[in-house]
Chains A and B, each alone.
Chain A
């Protein structure tokens, strides 16, 4: 089989080809808010994410009509109805495929996928990994509440082993996915994790995700107050887990040494990540090592293995430890740019009207004429 070296479209930002609002025009969160009543349960983490997105979109500076939100099925997938942009609430698990069609067809659209742990990782797992592999220019927001909410409380593919739910009265025996590990394994070019209640961090991650050209994958820890309340209390330092936040969150900042726990005056936490002699990433007491041994976070590392190793530090059971931030952000040609380039190159090489070229096409080859 033959392979061809494809021309690489020049590096661009995620929003470069999308029409911006006219100079001097500022948009407001209100303009991005639809007239539809929001119907999530009181206290749902989705409200916070919606507020953050509605607050963030005006800052993107893109024309509202050029923004498209696509979702699947599940609580979080009602999201598009609440934004006054173009949107489609599609079918279970398939949002990445529909968004792939939209993003490939049109370079001038900012495409967002809103999905949940069941939608993206269970029924739609195939579409998710292939979207990440292709690196289509879009942002996928995965609301992970580690439970099925809309179907009323069954375990999800991110629920911990042993979890007692309606469908697992004596405990789940399903081994969960770590969404970030999965995305890194699928060679996603942008992988981040953030938290519904940390609006500042969430907004910063959204901005970075939108600016990235390619598929940006953002896992958002999102509390379900009805069926899985408190799943992220340790991460948030709430409820029975007050004060645990410093040791539960491992913040990732590109170019910074990775430490957590109680911070000293220089900002270094009393726990740090180091690469062990065997090459593993391990948690150690910062006091036991010299500062130059601390692993410095490199989100731009072309090799995803360190990012993957960091993702494995996420607690598998009750979530009392999790790296938060941008794990990986690398440049890689996008599927849609290259697919469009093949079409536009072919179009540029031909002359004449489409009708004339079509006539020539269907008359090509062995023909005969009867008078």
Chain B
């Protein structure tokens, strides 16, 4: 199967320019595909491309080897211009075994390149992947199942084992470096800088010289294989993207969110206290924050989800910035405690990194189906503010914003991230700390109410529910403050004094005050940004959270095809910004793409009586831009009373517009 490797080939390699490429690395869960993808991403980031990544892996740590459910993949879309998504369909698939080939084939467009490791195409592995015959044996034949693609079969494992021979590893250990061979090959093919990976390997394996040597040798062998053999004759160049001035780094959502929480602590002067219980895909935040004790961050791995939020509430009562992190099932467990924080009006940041549901659902897949849970998932009238980041890097700013609202308004705040944002990455323009909003804890230090017993007419009592007239926030008096001793709890509070009250009029009033307090947060929000370049759009596409990328990409496709469409993306889901109602009413049609069955649309319909049209997918993966563009286009056609054909920008581009195949 392995093509002759002609070491004497002296053919000049061609260099082709591309504006963007989507590569998917796919292999067994143990093949190191996430690492390979991460490294390729870092190389591309340092090179200066814009990029978006999409890791996709099974919930099992080591799913049965060689099977379809065990396939782990990492997709990277990189470009010489500003891009918004990890791409719908890969131009290049690197498949390390039959299962990886089979599981990903359906996502490839005609003409895509497939680089496949032939070593694992044994009877046993073909059986496991459900292949009756070896598809690689039929290449070029009449019934070639891969005829639509440019297939490059390479014995990646065999060449790797040969290349790392001098390090004296067993075949099994030696073959584990095959992901570095693949990385080297792809790095050559796309002219990636190799230095970051060499440095990375030297650091990672500094204590195991033979493993380091083998990985470096495999990486270099992969590069040289591309450069010297005739298997690959074309090298591609994707120039650095023009980006705004600034210092950038590549960052995942969970890391950005963790940094945002540290930043919120620094900006507020409050020690951050995280109470958390491990859960996919939120655990990274617990791991990361546990490394930042030097910022005064305390992390408590609790006995369960409820204890995690309980400890955070306790810490907030004691004057820290209480934070709890989890995913949807954890929010279900924390509901009662979040209600307690609503009633006691204590600052609390609740992070929900959403995943596929219901119940245990799809732990490693993405979804945004917890919006209504965030809105209504508590007993009683228990409103809480909700904020959502729109991209991995934006998780930083969203975390700071959640803390700002929590501290300023003395309320639990829900931040809705999701599995795609958590693990996906993009270049992030590193902000200046001075540009972040200041957060003032404004602790109460003195009595605030004058009782009849007051001798001098000065305040002599502390009323824990006497509010700031503007924000309706109550005072935050922390233990250790003499003269402000007070009791709070889950029972209804009497207005002002905060003692238990079962009075019906008081209850009605307090329910409305708590609601009004959340509503007033909208007064602190900037106007919405409307992306409507022509100013003539009749259709508005509105979304929230991680669908920002696909929605933006879809709108660009529609505009490039010559049609008008407007986009608005919501950071704040509760309260809605003050100008949202007027914006919605200024468009003929409103489309709401979501990775759920229509939760934001339901809220918009309820709040504004607008005929919001849903576009809803729950595949556990981000929305696909081309498909969404078709839906947007169809609605534009309906609104403007004309036929819409997106042509090359839509789902079914004409054949002559297909991306040029590799080689």
Contacts and interface: CB of A to CB of B under 8 A. Distances in A.
A366 B42 contact: yes
Contact of A343 (B48, B266, B298): B298
B436 to A, nearest CB: 9
A64 B485 contact: yes
14 contacts: A19-B480, A66-B480, A73-B490, A80-B489, A81-B487, A84-B485, A97-B314, A103-B314, A104-B273, A104-B311, A105-B271, A105-B318, A109-B318, A358-B295
A62 to B, nearest CB: 11
Interface in B225-253: 243-250
A277 interface: no
Interface in A315-371: 339-340, 342-343, 345-347, 349-350, 354-355, 357-359, 361-363, 365-371
Contacts of B311: 97-98, 100-101, 104
Counting chain A CB atoms within 10 Å of each CB, the highest count among B244, B297, B312, B315 belongs to B315
A102 interface: yes
Contacts of B35: none
A13 interface: no
B336 to A, nearest CB: 5
Given A68-B479, A370-B248, 14 more contacts: A65-B481, A81-B487, A81-B500, A88-B317, A89-B491, A100-B310, A347-B294, A354-B266, A358-B263, A366-B42, A366-B196, A368-B45, A368-B247, A368-B249
Interface of B: 42, 45-46, 48, 196, 243-250, 259, 262-263, 266, 271, 273, 275, 292-298, 300, 302-304, 306-308, 310-320, 322, 336-337, 339-340, 344, 396, 430-434, 479-491, 499-500
Contacts of A362: 249, 259, 263, 396, 430-431
B298 A85 contact: no
Contact of B433 (A19, A83, A358, A367): A358
Nearest to A99: B314
Contacts of B250: 366
B168 to A, nearest CB: 28
B262 A358 contact: yes
Contact of A70 (B314, B322, B339): B314
Q: Which 6 A-B pairs have the closest CB atoms?
A: A101-B314, A89-B489, A97-B310, A101-B311, A346-B293, A97-B307
Interface in A66-109: 66-68, 70-71, 73, 80-81, 83-92, 94, 97-106, 108-109
Interface of A: 19, 34, 36, 63-68, 70-71, 73, 80-81, 83-92, 94, 97-106, 108-109, 126-127, 130, 339-340, 342-343, 345-347, 349-350, 354-355, 357-359, 361-363, 365-371
B48 A350 contact: no
A101 B295 contact: no
A369 B314 contact: no
Contacts of A361: 259, 262, 292
A44 B294 CA distance: 50
A357 B295 CA distance: 8
A64 to B, nearest CB: 6
Given A130-B303, A370-B243, A101 B485 contact: no
A180 B45 CA distance: 60
A355 B430 CA distance: 14
Contacts of B298: 104-105, 339-340, 343
B295 A354 contact: yes
Contacts of A342: 293
Contact of A86 (B307, B344, B485): B485
B336 A105 contact: no
Contacts of A127: 303, 306-307, 310
B38 to A, nearest CB: 11
A34 B479 contact: no
A345 B296 CA distance: 10
Contacts of A85: 485
A341 to B, nearest CB: 10
Contacts of A92: 336
B43 to A, nearest CB: 9
A99 B250 CA distance: 39
B486 A86 contact: yes
Contact of A65 (B259, B320, B482, B488): B482
B266 A358 contact: yes
Given A106-B319, A363-B249, A367-B430, A347 B489 contact: no
A89 B303 contact: no
Contacts of B340: 90-91
B430 A363 contact: yes
A131 B487 CA distance: 23
Given A358-B262, A367-B248, A347 B296 contact: yes
A106 B320 CA distance: 9
Nearest to B256: A362
B325 to A, nearest CB: 15
A308 B266 CA distance: 48
